[in-house]
């Protein structure tokens, strides 16, 4: 079954039909979803969804664009203690630290703050023996440098919603990271991603939605959800010249291996 390795079903875009939609996924061929936290508020929301749905797990961390509140020492201490506590608890169904990383598209928060909390959460992941879900936007060089300096090869994880070229993909692959591919693959202007999708070894590809964002064609511009992943499967099948069933099988196996759900 399809494994959606990166979703945000706690987002307000799903307030009207969240429960009905999540309950419908297994019958639609979506076997597993990892719901990803991004800020302090979303930690509890992601834990709640993972507790209520047997096919939903969660990742807990602070997104670079949401790390501004961590400039306050007390807030930072409470947040890191909460993350450590929940990530250490098998009952929480938390399978990764994320999403964390760097986002240089927006001028705030301060980039030094982003880099500091990226390192702090990488170090926590290593201590807890958990993979990381990495957000990297217009920050390829710094993301790679920090992963190299923090020995990311000892941690493992995925560069989600991959947006760089083949050469940068090769550098992340050298560190043992997976490449997350979603709806952007179906866009006409996604030349770089299509080249990456053709090059990445089969055992290093993950499917993701990043929903409610980045819906594939023919739903581009609308709210995304896991039900649309077959369109990404089809595009990946055409690019790599393999059957859709094989794309589903290998990406599910990859996700289960990366999230240590084997």
Q: What is the pLDDT of residue 198?
A: 98
Instruction: Say which residues have a Cβ less than 8 Å from residue 80's Cβ, sequence separation at least 6.
Output: 120, 124
Show the domains of the chain with their CATH numbers.
Answer: 2-258 (3.20.20.140)
- Does residue 157 have a cis peptide bond before it, meaning omega lies within 30 degrees of 0? no
Burial class (CB in 10 A: 0-12, 13-18, 19+), 62: buried
Q: What is the pLDDT of residue 262?
A: 80
- Residue 106 CB-half CA count within 13 A: 13
- Residue 101 CB-half CA count within 13 A: 27
Q: What is the mean pLDDT of each run of 10 residues along the chain (262 residues)?
A: 98 98 98 97 97 98 96 96 97 97 95 98 98 98 98 98 98 98 97 98 98 98 98 98 98 98 88
Backbone angles phi, psi at 2, to 5 degrees: -70, 135
- Distance between CA atoms of 212 and 234, rounded to whole angstroms? 20
13-30 pLDDT tens trace: 999 999 999 999 999 999
Q: What is the pLDDT of residue 251?
A: 98
Q: How far apart are the first and last CA of the chain?
A: 14
Closest CA to 128 of 148, 172, 98, 103: 98
196-240 pLDDT tens trace: 999 999 999 999 999 999 999 999 999 999 999 999 999 999 999
Q: What is the pLDDT of residue 1?
A: 98
């Amino acid at each position: 079954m399809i494994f959606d390795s990166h979703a945000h079903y706690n987002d307000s875009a799903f307030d009207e039909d969240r429960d009905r939609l999540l309950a419908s996924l297994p019958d639609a061929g979506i076997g597993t979803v990892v719901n990803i936290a991004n800020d302090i508020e979303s930690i509890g929301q992601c834990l709640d969804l993972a507790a209520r749905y047997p096919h939903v797990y969660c990742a807990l961390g602070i997104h670079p664009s949401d790390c501004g509140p961590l400039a306050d020492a007390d807030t930072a201490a409470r947040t890191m203690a909460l993350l450590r506590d929940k990530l250490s608890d098998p009952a929480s169904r938390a399978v990764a630290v994320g999403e964390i990383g760097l986002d240089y598209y927006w001028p705030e928060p301060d980039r030094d703050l982003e880099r500091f909390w990226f390192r702090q959460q990488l170090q926590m992941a290593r201590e807890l023996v958990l993979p990381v879900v990495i957000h990297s936007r217009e920050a390829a060089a710094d993301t790679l440098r920090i992963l190299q300096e923090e020995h990311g090869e000892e941690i493992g994880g995925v560069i989600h919603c991959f947006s760089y070229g083949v050469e940068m993909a090769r550098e992340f692959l050298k560190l043992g990271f997976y490449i997350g591919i979603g709806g952007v693959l179906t866009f006409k202007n996604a030349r770089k991603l299509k080249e990456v999708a053709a090059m990445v070894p089969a055992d290093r590809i993950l499917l993701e939605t990043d929903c409610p964002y980045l819906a594939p064609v023919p739903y581009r511009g609308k709210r995304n959800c896991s039900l649309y992943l077959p369109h990404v499967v089809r595009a990946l099948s055409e690019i790599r010249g393999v059957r859709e069933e094989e794309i589903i099988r290998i990406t599910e196996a990859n996700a289960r291996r990366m999230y240590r759900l084997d």
